[in-house]
Amino acid sequence: MAKILSAPQAYTLRPMKPFLLALAFATVSLEAQAPITVYVFTSAPASGFVDEASKHRADATKELTDKLRKKKSITVVEMREGADVVVEVKSAAIAAGALHSRVNPLGGGIKTSAQKEYHIETSLSVGDYSTPITAQATFTSIATGKIADDVEKWVKENRDRVLAVRK
């Protein structure tokens, strides 16, 4: 036999309906906005020896990982298995950039120096799909920041497709 609620009891349940509906929609919305998982790595040298190139790649990988951790739409994971997106740092090199000349204010003539350029090449992969992302800048932190921004932009533009591959 169903219990009939008195008017005060029935009234107290009414304000809960909007709250319960909002909670249901929030759960669906959070699920739709779950972060995309990203794994960042660089390959060890085939020879097993550490050289300048592998050091630059390792430094760029660490810095890129740190930059991606700050992105709200991305969660960086420590293992490749289960990652939605894989980013490999293929190369990170320092090259001589443009020459800059300046006059020494204390005398001594003109000083010319070459400004360093940092070039970082990565590969972003999801399943069988892969695309290069590269950046160059006068500082490693700027170059890795550009790559992190490009990865985030790509993830946002391709979110639905990445989630479809996840399932």
Q: Write down the domain spans for the chain.
A: 36-166
* Mean pLDDT of the 70-95 span: 94
User: Which pLDDT belongs to residue 110?
Assistant: 72
Q: Lowest-confidence range among 67-81, 103-117, 144-158?
A: 103-117
CA–CA gap between residue 148 and residue 135 (Å, rounded): 10
User: Which pLDDT belongs to residue 29?
Assistant: 47
CA-nearest of 90, 89, 77 to 38 is 77
| Per-residue model confidence as pLDDT tens digits over 5-60 | 555 554 555 555 555 555 555 544 444 578 899 999 999 888 888 888 899 999 99
User: Which pLDDT belongs to residue 57?
Assistant: 95
Question: Can you give the pTM of this predicted structure?
Answer: 0.72
Superfamily per CATH, domain 36-166 = Lipoprotein like domain (3.30.160.150)
Structural contact between residues 133 and 154, judged by C-beta atoms closer than 8 angstroms: yes
